[in-house]
Chain A
Amino acid sequence: MRRWVALLVLMPLAAPAEPIEPALLGGAPNPETRLAEIGADLRSSFDAALARYDAEIAAQPHRVRARIARCRFIESFLLEYEYASFADELYEREPQCYDDVAAQFPHHPEVLLSQLERTYDDEERLATGEKLLPSFDERAWTPGQRARLYTLLANASERLDTERRQRERTAEYARRALAHDVRADVRLVLAHYYQETGDPAAALEALTSPFDGHDPEDNWYLVMKMGYLAQLGARDALLAVYSELASRSTYYDHTQTAAALRTVGEAELAARELAADNFGIYGTSDEKERFLLALESGTAEEALAAYEAWRDAGYGEDPLGINRFALFVAHPGLPWRARDALGLLGALGTLAALALLWCVPLGLIHYRGLANRQRGAPQPTGDALGLRHAWLGLSAFTLASVASLYAVGPIDLFADETVPWLVVADEIQLAKMTVAQSLLGAVLLAFVAQALRRHFPQWWSTDWSIARCTLVAAGVALAFRVPMFAIMLLGADLSRSLPLDNGIWQVLADVDDLYGIAATLWIIAVAAPVGEEFLFRGLLLRAALKHVSFPLANAVQALLFAAIHFDLAAAPYLFGCGLAFGWLARSSGGLLAPMIAHAIFNLVAGLVVLS
């Protein structure tokens, strides 16, 4: 009994200082309770942070940016804690917060900028932002605020732009942004513009400016920048960006980085980048880059292994076998595999498909001729040439185009949502491809001319004297180039303001850089005028005249002539040229006049644009 009394006396003294966790007594911890505790903590932390904003705003109620920062805090909190228990409440408070600031500071530049930043549709952002421009002075926008508006407009415009005219608008907004704030975040936009419009010095200056206002820790931006620097051949600047990026982070697009490094000859660094984990989100581009790297700087076995690894992803990776052919050219002794024949079949299939495509307009002419005949319409006159001869010539031209793809080393063909196959080649490859196409085309069309000598014996002959041909041809060509002279007389920069086949002129400028003026003159003054006139105003027009009237035959050849230039913006203009050259061919009774006209037409633009 005394023991029990002693125990009862001692028990309070031995009681633990802290309450015992229920879990220790056998009770399971309740996750909901714990989550509720965390939720409550989160709420009180949020409220405390918001209270700090409120206190700061109460102390300085005129600070508009502090008020907007408070709203942004709510917005950012929601992005970070999307599933917080009180998120629904915040989803209502966030727009209310912005509305309150807008009501308190109507038409204030910061409020308007904030509204614009939260407009995610670029069309709408542009339209709304452009309406704000006239209010700069009366609403007392600061230079920084003006620059931010122009930056928003430039970037929105950049994301929309496809047409040349809009590119000018994008660049103009970017320049205005920099005119107000040298640190405006538009350098990449400007670099892109200058690169596209053939001003690499200005592009490089934009990319290497010490005032780049973009977030220096934005890896996506840095990789993009390296891509542009690689295209400009700015090795040192690229390596400086790479060194900064690689020393700070590993989470960036290693494939694009490797491609940029490879372009400036840094094969070792490129290989190191390709060995890095690319998070499995960039498809087969890793394998493609490995192949290009191995082809350029690896052994034959490495190149073959890399090609096979890339090709393992499927037929679509090298549908025409162009890269396998490039591998063959670099290392002829490597073994072939059965699946490599698929590339050859792909090439033949493409050629056949394109050749058959010519049958569509030729077939329509043929059946139109039949219908005319059945109606008893007078039979149009024509010589011994038939539509099949025209098809032969057009197919030879197609063969030259397809074969030129194989003349420039590895290129990438990939399917896109908008076009079945997109050719990705660099500027030098495009220049080489153009020269190869002109040479192959000349040879193949010479064979065609030889083969058709019975049907079209004196295609070069003409009813006019050479002097007359030259004078009339020059008149026709200049009539089409008068707008260009007008622009030149007005002092505009022709290379930037001409809407005429700009892509082609860019390639020709590269041909000029790569092979010199003789190669450029060969293409614009000889190969294109002789080849295209022989094809369109010679074979096609004459063959069509056996079936349909001159206006229709002329329109069809002009339409196809415009189509092969692959420039929608310039198509109406080229169609007009095609009609005029067709008229010249018919009036002069030969091809000399249209050839001279075509050559002068090309030369005028060439001399102006390329100089």
Chain B
Amino acid sequence: MGQRTVSLLAATLLAGSAFPQPLDDQDGETLDAAAAEARGFDYLFGRGVERDPAQAALWLEQAADAGLPHAAGALAELYARGQGVPADEARARELALTAARAGIASAQASLGVQYALAPANSSGERDFASALQWLSAAAEQDDPRALAVLGSLYRFGTGVRQSRETWLRLSTRAAELRFPPPAVDTALYLLTNDPTTSDVQRALHFLRGAASSSYAPGAYALGKVYLHGEHVERDTGLAAQWLTRASELEFPLGTAWLAELYDKGIGVTADPERAAALREQALAAMSVGDRNELAWELAVSPHADLRNGAWAVEVAEAATAERPAPVYLDTLAAAYAEAGRFEDAVRAQQRAVAALPSTVSAATRDSYAARVELYRSGGTYREAP
């Protein structure tokens, strides 16, 4: 299946722990630090009182000032989110540092992520040493966000020596701790690399976990696994079910494929009107990258019932109109070929070859060129099953 690149760093940041929502009131009581901390958490979690981040912040501030690190960690989150207190990045970082130094994993992970994503300084350098230090400290306490972000740094060689093995180890551990973004990432990697039975079992477990926790890419990936029947028995009913879930979670590619299922009656009762509405909804929400991915699969899928030349052309033309990059032109050519428009296919593929940068590998250039000849001879391109 086409592997979707998930922006892991952003996703993991967004998926960080959330604190409860606000309410009112305060009293003028004075408590010792430990009692103030307890009172602060009571307001924060609504234990015996109504949830009130402002009151929580007040008491936690008192406890944090007295050096209680858990209070500092919770208060840092409130400052970072502007809940109960005005958002204050500097204060949030100062408090997070206090908590992180006291060994609190969530604070260490937050600091690590901040360092990893912070813009470069005036000399163009970023503080990866601090990022690694805090992320490692949190990761060894099994903080899934830290594990995932640290894994990403190793995967892309950002601030560390690139290591796919280290990424896989860290990402797998984060997935085992049921953190959806690395779970999907790890599952897709496991499924696309000559998987053993155990790999497939683990991958499906990760995908089901991510999909069940309302993580849209998880539902989409699981739907596609069942739709393609790769390493599992093809089950179009389950595919439709999970793609519906992805669509409900506003994942445009999920909506697009659901439209295709309704159009052809695959796994659902055919409903052209619903298919048209879903297509419109998907096209409006899809990024150019999404369009390219969709068009490519509609054009070259090894499953005949999943190919749709006409729609592939429509989607690919929209993508190339926005960004006429070689990879998108390559998709457009494949779409023309699938639609039987071989002359257009040859022209689009020639444009793609011409637009290839000189740095591209010979193998890629050869494959692009080979497709020119393929289309010229009236052939269509197919991805291996």
Contacts and interface: CB of A to CB of B under 8 A. Distances in A.
Contacts of B101: 61-62
Contacts of A166: none
Q: Among A64, A109, A140, A182, find the residue whose CB has the most chain B CB atoms closer than 10 A.
A: A140
Contacts of B44: 138
B137 A140 contact: no
A62 B103 contact: yes
Interface in B109-161: 133, 136-138, 140-144
A138 B201 contact: no
Interface in A130-165: 137-140, 142-145, 147-148
A106 to B, nearest CB: 9
Given A62-B108, A63-B137, A210-B202, A142 B143 contact: yes
Interface string A570-600: 0000000000000000000000000000000
Contacts of A450: none
Contacts, number: 88
Contact of A63 (B37, B103, B106, B198): B103
B100 interface: yes
A144 B177 contact: yes
A108 B103 contact: yes
B105 interface: yes
B176 interface: yes
Contacts of A61: 101
B137 to A, nearest CB: 5
B205 interface: yes
Q: Among B44, B107, B133, B142, find the residue whose CB has the most chain A CB atoms closer than 10 A.
A: B142
B104 interface: yes
A340 interface: no
Contacts of A179: 178
Q: Among A64, A109, A110, A144, find the residue whose CB has the most chain B CB atoms closer than 10 A.
A: A144
A20 B203 CA distance: 68
B73 interface: yes
A496 interface: no
A481 interface: no
Interface in A59-95: 60-65
Contacts of A138: 37, 41, 44-45, 70, 74
B80 interface: no
Contact of A108 (B102, B133, B209): B102
Given A60-B133, A61-B101, A62-B108, A142 B141 contact: yes
Contacts of B178: 143, 179-182
A143 B176 CA distance: 10
A145 B141 contact: yes
Nearest to B103: A64
A414 interface: no
A148 B141 CA distance: 11
Nearest to B177: A143
Contacts of B209: 182
A210 B195 CA distance: 13
Nearest to B146: A142
Contacts of B74: 138, 140
A65 B70 contact: no
Interface string B174-205: 00111100000000000000000010011001
A183 B176 contact: yes
A183 to B, nearest CB: 5
A108 B209 CA distance: 29
Given A138-B45, A210-B202, A108 B142 contact: no
Contacts of A107: 70
Contacts of A181: 142, 176-178
B70 A139 contact: yes
Nearest to B147: A144
B198 A140 contact: no
Contact of B105 (A137, A142, A148): A142
Interface residues of A, number: 28
A142 B202 CA distance: 22
B108 A140 contact: no
A69 to B, nearest CB: 10
A596 B240 CA distance: 55
Interface string A154-196: 0000000000000000000000000111110000000000000
Nearest to B137: A63
A105 interface: yes
A110 to B, nearest CB: 6
A182 B187 CA distance: 14
B127 to A, nearest CB: 15
A142 B144 contact: yes
Interface in A488-505: none
Nearest to A101: B103
A211 interface: yes
Q: Among B73, B138, B177, B205, find the residue whose CB has the most chain A CB atoms closer than 10 A.
A: B177
Nearest to A69: B140
A137 B205 contact: no
Interface in A362-391: none
A62 B74 CA distance: 18
Given A60-B133, A143-B144, A108 B104 contact: yes
A65 B141 contact: yes
B137 A144 contact: no
Contacts of A60: 133, 136-137
Interface string A109-137: 11000000000000000000000000001
Contacts of A183: 176
A179 B209 CA distance: 10
Interface string B239-276: 00000000000000000000000000000000000000
Contacts of B108: 62
A62 B137 contact: yes
A148 B73 CA distance: 22
A142 B105 CA distance: 7
Nearest to A62: B101
A490 to B, nearest CB: 27
A472 B177 CA distance: 59
Contacts of A145: 105, 141-142
A185 to B, nearest CB: 12
Nearest to A182: B176
B103 A110 contact: yes
A520 B141 CA distance: 54
A105 B142 contact: no
Contacts of A182: 176-178, 205, 209
A140 B177 contact: no
Contact of A65 (B45, B107, B140): B140
A101 B142 CA distance: 19
B142 A144 contact: yes
A55 B107 CA distance: 24
Contacts of A180: 177-178
A466 B310 CA distance: 81
A211 B102 contact: no
A61 to B, nearest CB: 7
B211 to A, nearest CB: 15
A181 B104 CA distance: 19
Contacts of B179: 143
Q: Among B37, B107, B176, B179, find the residue whose CB has the most chain A CB atoms closer than 10 A.
A: B176
B100 A62 contact: yes
B139 to A, nearest CB: 10
Given A61-B101, A144-B143, A144-B144, 20 more contacts: A60-B137, A62-B100, A62-B101, A62-B102, A105-B103, A107-B70, A109-B105, A109-B141, A110-B141, A137-B41, A138-B37, A138-B74, A140-B70, A142-B138, A142-B177, A144-B142, A148-B142, A180-B177, A183-B176, A211-B205
14 contacts: A60-B136, A62-B137, A63-B103, A63-B137, A105-B103, A108-B102, A137-B45, A138-B70, A140-B73, A140-B107, A142-B144, A182-B205, A210-B205, A211-B205
5 closest cross-chain pairs (CB), A and B: A144-B142, A64-B103, A138-B41, A210-B198, A143-B177
Interface of A: 60-65, 105, 107-110, 137-140, 142-145, 147-148, 179-183, 210-211
